[in-house]
Amino acid sequence: MHWLADLLAAIGVVLNGIPQGIMAMSLGFAVFPTAFSFGLVGLINGVASSVAPVSFQAESLALVGHLGHDLRERSSIIFLGASLMFVIGLTGTLPLIVHSLGNQLMAVMAGVGLMLAKIALQMAHEQPQFGWLSIGLAGVTYLISKDLVWTIAVSVIGTSCYAATTHYRVALPEHVTTRKLQFVRPQFSFKILRGALSLACLNIDANLSYGLITGQMTGQHPNPVNLNLLTSSQALADLGTSLLGGAPVETIISATASAPEPVIAGILMMLIMMLILLLGWLPKLGKVVPSTAIAGFLFILGTIVIFPENATTALHGSLSTVAGVTLVVTALVDPFAGLMTGALLKFGLPLIGLGL
């Protein structure tokens, strides 16, 4: 019966990823080329026996949507950010970055949690009849269940059911739903560079946190997740899909890791998601599910799940003031600005005999 448990775990993670896929469509990303990202990482995981899959990730989607004005800017941010992450993965410098910056990375992640909460409130303000309902449903569900899967399911399904009573329907742009490949030429500017660096900072945090948590869920010792392989494969997938207007796929905390065969379960999940995208089923849902239906999940994810744990870790120790400044700047500006501010305070001030 191992195969059944593997399949159920895979289906559970797919159901969790579908609302975030709808969020990707609302930002203008094409779903058809994104399918090949799932296939590529599935192939790499099969060859390397990696337990850490990728999927749509609300944090990266929210950040890219916040930093990029249109599809071309967002795709350019993903392409440049993925290029940086690919170099980091290939050269094996991720552990060195983590060792050098320490708790500042957790401060950045805590700041991202506040960013997600702010974005959720903005979404609720834009479509109050759906956004506030989603936040209310998510809050009540999480208080009762303490489970993110139930939280996203109840808030998205409940909001969608209400939207159906109002005859809600939205027309998606043709490039989002078309089942063919279209090249998106990257552009370069200071805004895109800063956005790419911010996305890279977020992915470093996510690969470290989510990747290792997924590895721990297998119960194997030592942790089976190879961070350099995970970083390289995720970046390689984003490099390709960004040139075709597809959505980024990033590291997630995946329940497939707790399945009897975590490698197989993770690959199954990505193959199922690839099939859903190739067959055009996700756009059909995107036409009747409001993009703000995910506002509640973003709010709970940011304020209750991401912020408290990471802020507690970051603010513990002798450099708590530096971490606090990093957190605030990240929340108000972006992850790169926060990380650079923290690095300047941590390494720059001592050079001139000052400190916090």
What are residue 246's phi and psi, to 5 degrees?
Answer: -85, 170
81: pLDDT strictly greater than 90: yes
222: pLDDT strictly greater than 80: yes
356: pLDDT strictly greater than 80: no
**Contact between residue 141 and residue 154 where contact means Cβ atoms under 8 Å apart:** yes
State what percent of residues in the chain have pLDDT above 70: 99
355: pLDDT strictly greater than 70: no
H helix and E strand count, the chain: 17, 2
- pLDDT tens digits along 66-80: 999 999 999 999 999
Nearest CA-CA partner of 327 in 301, 316, 64, 69: 316
What is the rounded distance in angstroms from the CA atom of residue 275 to the CA atom of residue 199? Answer: 27
Residue 98 binned pLDDT confidence (cut-offs 50, 70, 90): confident
The DSSP letter of residue 246 is B
Nearest CA-CA partner of 80 in 227, 183, 198, 232: 198
For the chain, what is the mean pLDDT?
Answer: 92
249: pLDDT strictly greater than 80: yes
253: pLDDT strictly greater than 80: yes
**Contact between residue 51 and residue 215 where contact means Cβ atoms under 8 Å apart:** yes
Q: Look up the pTM and report it.
A: 0.89
Q: Which two tokens stand for residue 285?
A: 């849902």
- pLDDT tens digits along 186-206: 999 999 999 999 999 999 989
| 64 Rama sector, left if φ>0, alpha if ψ -120 to 50, beta otherwise | alpha
Res 127: pLDDT: 92
